[in-house]
Amino acid sequence: AQTVTQSQPEMSVQEAETVTLSCTYDTSENNYYLFWYKQPPSRQMILVIRQEAYKQQNATENRFSVNFQKAAKSFSLKISDSQLGDTAMYFCAFRPSYNTDKLIFGTGTRLQVFP
Amino acid sequence: KAGVTQTPRYLIKTRGQQVTLSCSPISGHRSVSWYQQTPGQGLQFLFEYFSETQRNKGNFPGRFSGRQFSNSRSEMNVSTLELGDSALYLCASSLGEQSYNEQFFGPGTRLTVL
């Protein structure tokens, strides 16, 4: 069975600083997608960044980047130049195959950005 | 383009009752997935519908059921409610095609079972 583990229940960072959120996963599949989702206090889940397993290059989206280590089954999120609006729950998620939208989520990391 | 909408936003029921939640996907989206979010269990996949067919199902008891209509709107039903069914129920929609399609989440329905 596929599992996703986020070992940091809470993290905090000062505005403008950099923070890294950790995620590990377990799967026997070779092709899959990995995601980071953000859920602000308003509760609407938003996609932050995605990574295709077959791509060696790490995905980046503006201030957000990932460190994808396929052999180690590790998928961390780095947020640079943190902003107050980055305060939210962050969920790492795994999608097992191409023919489904089913997401397996980690337990989440609550990120607090301080001024 | 309107986002994913879920109705109602808040619901209070008592044990033993049943409830129906509705999800309207983004126009043109054919896939709808449902998730249950609780503090204890986190986000858990319930089921996924594509073109009116259940494409995938999570590990929930038979009290949880769903369906999708020809206009892609989806409903989920929970019968014989238990206290543990109190949760935020999220739905997400996508185009549903075989290649990657981004999923967009709705605001959720907060169900409280008393």
Give the pLDDT means over successive 10-residue stretches in chain B (114 positions). 92 97 96 95 95 94 97 97 97 84 93 97
**B108 conformational bin, left if phi > 0, alpha if psi -120 to 50, beta if neither:** left
Helix, coil or strand: residue A85: helix
Residue among B100, B111, B110, B108 nearest B31 (CA): B100
Instruction: Give me the residue label for tokens 């191409």.
Output: A98
pLDDT recorded at residue A1: 79
What CATH number is given to the structural domain containing A58?
A: 2.60.40.10
Query: Among the listed ranges A32-36, A54-58, B88-92, which one has the minimum average pLDDT value?
Result: A54-58
Pick from B33, B35, B107: which is nearest to A43 by CB? B107
Inter-residue contact B75 to B65 (CB < 8 Å): no
The residue segments making up the domain with residue A11 are: 3-114
With beta carbons under 8 A apart, name residues in chain B contacting A101: 31, 33, 48, 56, 92, 94, 96, 101, 103
Q: What does pLDDT average to over chain A?
A: 94
Number of domains in chain A: 1
pLDDT recorded at residue B113: 97
Is pLDDT larger for residue B96 or for residue A82? A82
Pick from B96, B106, B107: which is nearest to A101 by CB? B96
Task: Give the separation between CA B66 and CA B75, rounded to whole angstroms.
Answer: 6
Average of pLDDT values for A36-45?
A: 90
Please judge whether A102 and B48 are an interchain contact, meaning their C-beta atoms are less than 8 angstroms apart. yes
pLDDT recorded at residue A99: 79
Neighbours of B20 (CB within 10 A): 14
Helix, coil or strand: residue B84: helix
Q: In sequence order, what are the residues at sequence separation of 6 or more whose Cβ sits closer than 8 angstroms to the Cβ of residue B41?
A: none
